[in-house]
Structure 1
Amino acid sequence: MAEQSTVPPELGVDVAELTALLDGTYAEVRRSVRELLPAYASVLEDAETMTRAEFRERVKDVVLEIAGTGAAGMGFPKEYGGGGDIGASIAAFESLALGDLSVLVKVGVQFGLFGGAILQLGTQRHHEAYLADVVSGRLLGCFAMTETAHGSNVQALGTVATYDPETAEFVITTTRPEAGKDYIGNAARHARVAVVFAQLEVAGEGHGVHALVVPIRDEAGEPLPGVRIEDDGHKMGLNGVDNGRIWFDPDGTVRVPRENLLNRFADVTEDGSYVSDIESPGRRFFTMLGTLVQGRVCVGGAGISAAKTALTIAVRYGLRRRQFETGTGQDAEGSAGETEQLLFDYGLHQRRLLPRLARTYALHFAQEVLAGELHDVFSGIRTDEETRRLLESRAAGTKALATWHATDVIQECREACGGAGYLAVNRFAALKADTDVFTTFEGDNHVLLQLVGKGLLTDYASEFSDLDQLGMVRFVAGLAVETVLERTRVHRLLEQIRDVLPGGDNWEADTGLRDPNYHLAMYRFREEHRIGGVARRLKRGVDSGMAPGEVFSRVQDHVIAAARAHVERLVLEAFVEKVASVPDDSGELKRTLNALCDLHALSGIEADRAWFIEHGRLTTQRSKAITREVSELCRQVRPIARELVDAFAVPEPLLRAPALIAEDPA
């Protein structure tokens, strides 16, 4: 646990040292990708000057060039041309997210989704048949899960794969128009093969959703017989990615060999027997989806990278743009002769950007923890079921918070740059358009937080692994309220808060506000109180005779609030632990990180102060003291704001903000 910080009046930071800390274990991977990206900076302009068809081809060519460098395939086994390092692949993807996001998403579709599904859901026969060509880019494919009628509810997909024992083939059919695969990246133009998720039927019995490798185009790029493909058309952003719809004719034309079933978790024998080591269909389904968690980790990391780019532009603009006379003939940095004040010397401007900058650092370190856990699980270092469930929950929650943060940061940064920020020549337009979908693809954020909330309520018990809202309600209805309250330890958390507050129960005191133990105690109290509140509401609804579905519907907002509080605590813990890991003799680095961590923690409490006041954790006096402290921290961080964004190491050509920072001194 980090000790209480003592922030001096002036902070300083060595940019190279801070960049090294941010880059972490995979510093060399991140550096090599950042050095690679400027060669493709022109893609940012191509997005505006080329037709959609031209831009798609340009993006495809760039993706293939990146594949040739090895940067896109780091997570695949070395025997197939990859790097054999899952952690390195996450670091590379996060770094690629500093560049054009159509390129990034197409990389994600090809290597993360399509290739990742074959790697994680297939077995050696699939790896040998496909992976070398996937990693090299010789075989382009798509990940055909989402349908027009079903996105989040994957278990209700309408595409069917029926086994024909006479030919040892699966017949792939689209059962109704709205069961067509939709919004599928790479489908409209470039994919020759799809990993298709379909309801598996064997001898008239359904076995739930499984994945199969299904060719959809010939070598000339034409749809195969029985396959109908349609372009999704122009989108808000990411128009370098060819999203499309796919239908499989219901007349039985589309057939694939039995061996095309990705059979890591279940198989069909030649005579038509269904076999699986996982007896529960629900457990089997979620085990399958759990292997695809890397996509959520990558999207969350990409959101954080996009926020870094936006903050770099906005902070640098605020340090050169002047507005309104100060009346002193001197600005806050002591420069005489220019009486108009820098934007960043206004307290409001600091308040708009610096807490968001601190939160970006917090999410970066939380993402670092998550990526490490992913690497350990998928590399076989940690194989227990509990660790895997915790990883899935953490990935869902971090993705939600990180992508919402990106949306918020990019909007605030655009506004902080005024009319110039609205010009398409600057990156904000593309960042806003391209990242907006991050909040819904790889899982709608609200649905993901429901997953987190369910896990908190069931304590990750294996018998509740099926995502069934009614099952969760029934489970909670069977609990004694006292059991839930004991598990949430509210009374003990109150004692912890009192222990770290100078003066014990003296809630009027404004001391101890920069104590990380106090911050964590407050975040933990909120989390545990909200979990207990959800359980009580669920039980009360069931006890009153309300239908389980109605009960859950009425408490969904509380489930989301509990889940969000849980993930916020994880994010803060990651930041506090990172600060604690920095040697005390590092001097300025540790003091700077302490200040950022304090700013993040107190900003979070301030933003939710109404809740803390309602629940007796803050008095109005202490709430006001926190507001003053946040403003003071902003003033202390402001002199090093440029260094803090420079440490993100966004390559200069990728900032592409000539109307904002063209004259910005280095």
Structure 2
Amino acid sequence: MVNDVLRDLLDGRWADLRRTSRELVGTLEPPPVLDLEAQRALVFEQLGLLAKGGHPLTGFPAEYGGADDVGGSVVAFEVLGFGDLSLMIKAGVQWGLFGGAVQALGTKVHHDEYLPAIMNLDLPGCFAMTETGHGSDVQHLRTTATYDPTTEEFVVHTPDAMARKDYIGNAARDGRVAVVFAQLVTGGEEHGVHALVVPLRDGDGQVLPGVSIEDCGHKAGLNGVDNGRITFDHVRVPRVALLDRYGSVAADGTYSSPVEGDARRFFTMLGTLVRGRISVAGGAGSATKKALALAVRYGETRRQFTRPDGSEVVVLDYLAHQRRLLPALATSYALHFAQEELVSALHDVTDDRARREVESRAAGLKAVSTWHATATIQTCREACGGAGYLAENLLPQLKADTDVFTTFEGDNTVLLQLVAKGLLTSYRDHVGDLDQLGMVRFVADQFVGAVIERTAARSIIARLVGGSGDGLLERGWQVRQFEFRETHVLEGLARRLRRAGTGEQDPFETFNNAQDHVLHAARAHIDRVVLEAFVAAVDRCPDPETATLLDQVCDLYALSVIEADRAWFLEHGRLTPDRSKDVSRAVNELCGQLRPHARELVDAFDVPESWLAAPITRPAS
């Protein structure tokens, strides 16, 4: 029996859309085992069913038949993660990346020409950013788009093998056009990375002259997505092909932009595409919830070994089994509420400062959520023993399909470095105007003051949510531990960079030598953000009994994070050895208290039953 209050709380602001999206996903059939071409064909067919069912309309402009609901488009994508992940990614490429780039980077002429056909799937397309030699370092892509004023055309060219567009979804089979990111050159002057709409195939599906496409072939997972490699040999496209919201070229080759500075313009352009990164975090969360639902159902029916009275023990009654699944379940709840807050922030963003905060938080949550998915789905597979290794029980495919989430839409390690940089006051406004040495000195000048300002705000939050008690289950104590770790690590990083910035050390070496510190600072910050989102969700739960249950889940999340990093807390005097042992005992007790509610907690995710139809979920006969 689903706890309706808990489900409604999880459904949140876009509850109606979540439910209709789940219904749409529930009408689709889980795919059978197919060869590569048949799997791709089935996914494209189901993509058409999503188009007919109205899935892509949510995020596009009302002027073209959409709903102008940016947050809703992320939520709709997230729900697809309960089904076939190849279909989810294929939809994300078509309507999120390709369609989203045309919408965000183009102007009305592009919207009129392309958006209706993109929305109804008459124009399948690609998002061609990543290159063989440049993935995370988008600013230094090598593909060129050189303007020829004599014909009023751009010449799109791949100068060498490292500039080949690589791993491009929709390229190998279905894509007819691509939004291609290239270095824009006019009159011999470079203006940084811009995006152009470049045709790939004609109406009969034949690859056009000057375009070469290779099939990436079989991957570890997501084989319903036709990833390919694209090379351009002096391909000419008209001047209007440039998506010119942030940079335009006149007929004579004169370049103009409403954003000054190549670096600032570059980050402004990429910032408009942050929806894809947020969507990946949500999709990873859905896949993780599905894995937990499978593992908990199996754990409630599978019996192993006996008690003294001869009765066999249900495996979820073992503390070791609870330890594997329940902290992960608590973390999934925490990340869900943090994701909900982030989607709302994206939907409501109105100014540059809020937009920068969304971009930074999106980077951190994407990293944490996808790492959590990889670890938790593996744990769920192991918790189901040999049965979890059978394809019919769905977990192996979830493992294979989500593994790449940690590196696409931004490598997680790189993303956490972006989070740490985003914590610096005005950092992202100034980074384009500073060389590496200036960057180090800017950190030294700006960072400590910013940390002090945040510390004061955090102290207010701690007092509001928990009082001054020191009990492990006292919310104020938990929040203070998260805050102290974040602040201490940030201050330590500031001191470290300040010392390095005043010496003769090479600026690259300064940052390279501090990367461990940078990553820890970012992770500590995101952990605190996630905890605060969970606390807020508990506070708004309308039913006292459900709120009590959710409060225990929040305790388990907070203490399991502290336990995982308790070496740091011990080293910095926030835990004594005895207190550290108490944390582990409290985690054990919370696992025992939540054991009877494990099924209730996963059922509240409301994964469509058709996508949980695995033999391991059926009661033993």
**TM-score normalised by the shorter chain: which range applies?**
over 0.9
**Number of residue equivalences:** 621
**3-state SS in 2 of match to 1:72:** helix
Q: Distance in 2 between matches of 1:228 and 1:211?
A: 19
Whether 2:522 is the aligned partner of 1:522: answer: no
Tell me which of 598, 612, 617 is aligned to 1:661: 617
The one of 439, 451, 455 equivalent to 2:422 is: 455
Q: Which amino acid aligns with 1:58?
A: L
Structure 2: which 5+ residue stretches go unaligned? none
2:294: which partner in 1?
Answer: 313
CA distance in 2, matches of 1:524, 1:145: 38
**Residue in 2 aligned with 1:19?**
7
CA contact 1:14–1:589 (8 Å) conserved in 2:
no
**Counterpart contact for 1:74–1:83, Cα < 8 Å:** yes
| Residue 619, structure 1, aligned to residue 576, structure 2 | yes
Q: Does 1:406 align with 2:390?
A: no
Q: Are the counterparts in 2 of residues 187 and 244 from structure 1 also a CA contact under 8 Å? A: yes
* 1:83 equivalenced with 2:67 (yes/no): yes
2:173 maps to 1:189: yes
Classify 1:325/1:113 alpha carbon distance in 2 versus 1 (closer, same or farther; 3 Å).
same
Q: Spell out, residue by residue over 1:295-329, the C-alpha distance to the aligned partner (whole angstroms, 9 max, x if none).
A: 00000000110110000000011100111111135
Q: Which amino acid aligns with 2:65?
A: G
Counterpart among 48, 70, 88 of residue 64 in structure 1 = 48
In 2, are the aligned partners of 1:193 and 1:217 still within 8 Å (CA)? Answer: yes
Q: Distance in 2 between matches of 1:491 and 1:31?
A: 37
Cα distance in 2 between the residues matched to 1:664 and 1:547: 65
1:478-510: per-residue Cα shift (whole Å, max 9, x none)?
45x86476456499969979x96867xxxxxxx
Q: Indicate if the aligned counterparts of 1:297 and 1:371 stay in contact, CA closer than 8 A.
A: yes
Please say if 1:397 is aligned against 2:364: yes
Deviation at 1:77, TM superposition (A): 1.1
Aligned pair partner of 2:329 in 354, 357, 380: 357
- Residue 81 of structure 1: CA displacement? 2.6
- Per the TM alignment, residue 65 of structure 1 is displaced from its structure 2 partner at its CA by 1.1
State how far apart, in whole Å, the 2-side matches of 1:140 and 1:486 are.
Answer: 50
- Which moves more between the two structures, 144-153 or 76-85? 76-85
Separation in 1, partners of 2:82, 2:562: 30
Aligned mate of 2:312, from 340, 343, 366: 340
- The reply on whether 1:163 has 2:144 as its aligned counterpart is no
Deviation at 1:14, TM superposition (A): 5.8
* Change in CA separation of 1:491 and 1:119 when aligned onto 2, cut-off 3 Å: closer
1:328 aligns with 2:309: yes
Amino acid in structure 2 at the alignment position of 1:278:
V
Q: Is the 8 A contact 2:124 2:177 kept in 1?
A: yes
Q: Tell whether the 8 Å contact from 1:595 to 1:637 is kept in structure 2 after alignment.
A: yes
Of 526, 531, 534, the residue aligned with 1:567 is 526
Mapped to 1, the partners of 2:428 and 2:154 lie a distance apart of: 35
Structure 1 equivalent of residue 492 of structure 2: 533
Instruction: Quote the offset at 1:73 in angstroms.
Output: 2.7
- Over 3 Å counting, the alpha-carbon distance change for 1:467 and 1:650 in structure 2 is farther
Distance 2:581 2:460 in 1: 21
What corresponds to 2:385 in structure 1? 418
Per-residue displacement from partner, 1:190-248 (whole Å, max 9, x unpaired)?
00000000000000000000000000110111111100110011101000000000001
The offset of 1:457, in angstroms, is: 2.9
**Partner-residue secondary structure (3-state), 2:423:** helix
The alpha-carbon distance between structure 1 residues 358 and 482, as it changes in their structure 2 partners (threshold 3 A), is: closer
Deviation at 1:163, TM superposition (A): 0.6
Question: What RMSD over aligned residues (CA atoms) do the two structures have, in Å?
Answer: 2.2
2:411 is matched with: 444
Alignment pair present for 1:282 and 2:263: yes
Q: Who is 2:86 aligned against?
A: 102
Asked if the contact 1:308/1:648 (under 8 Å) is kept, the reply is: yes
Question: Letter of the aligned partner of 2:30 in structure 1?
Answer: S
Q: Distance in 2 between matches of 1:260 and 1:25?
A: 38
Residue 582 (structure 1) aligns with: 541
- Given candidates 108, 116, 129, the residue that maps to 2:100 is 116
Distance 1:196 1:106 in 2: 18
Q: In structure 2, what is the Cα distance between the partners aligned to 1:601 and 1:406? A: 18
Return the letter of the residue paired with 1:342: V
Separation in structure 2 between the aligned mates of residue 491 and residue 57 of structure 1, nearest angstrom: 53
* AA of the residue aligned to 1:274: Y
Partners of 1:502 and 1:512 within 8 A in 2: no
User: Any residues of structure 2 matched to 1:132-151 within 5 Å, and which?
Assistant: 132-151=116-135
Q: Deviations over 1:39-74 (max 9, x none)?
A: 32232x2xx2x2101111110010011111111231
Q: Which has the higher contact order (CA 8 A, sep 6+)?
A: 1
Give the Cα separation in 2 of the matches to 1:465 and 1:655.
49
Counterpart secondary structure, 2:584: helix
| Contact 1:531-1:562 at 8 Å conserved across structures | yes
Alignment partner of 2:175: what SS? coil
Secondary structure of the residue aligned to 1:319 is: helix
Distance 1:524 1:448, change over 3 A: same
Cα separation, partners in 2 of 1:545 and 1:560, compared to 1, 3 Å: same
The residue identity in structure 2 corresponding to 1:650 is V
Relative to structure 1, the CA distance from residue 485 to residue 226 in structure 2 (aligned partners, 3 Å threshold; closer, same or farther) is closer
Query: For residues 434 and 49 of structure 2, what CA distance do their matches in structure 1 show?
Result: 40
Q: Report deviation, 1:542.
A: 2.8
1:29, CA displacement in angstroms?
A: 1.3
Of 22, 46, 50, the match for 1:34: 22
The percentage of counterpart residues that share the same residue type is 57
Mapped contact 2:179–2:198 kept (Cα < 8 A): yes
| Contact kept? 2:130, 2:138, Cα under 8 Å | yes
2:564 is the alignment partner of 1:607 = yes
State the one-letter code of the partner of 1:653.
S
Contact 1:457 1:535 (8 Å CA) reproduced: no
Q: 1: CA distance between counterparts of 2:7 and 2:136?
A: 37
Q: Secondary structure of the residue that 1:425 maps to in structure 2?
A: helix
Find the residue that maps to 2:558 and give its secondary structure: helix
Question: 1:218 is matched by which residue type in structure 2?
Answer: D
**TM-score (norm. length: structure 2):** 0.96
Q: Is the 8 A contact 1:121 1:264 kept in 2?
A: yes
- Name structure 1 gaps, 5 residues minimum: 1-12, 330-338, 504-510
TM-score for the superposition, normalised by structure 1: 0.90
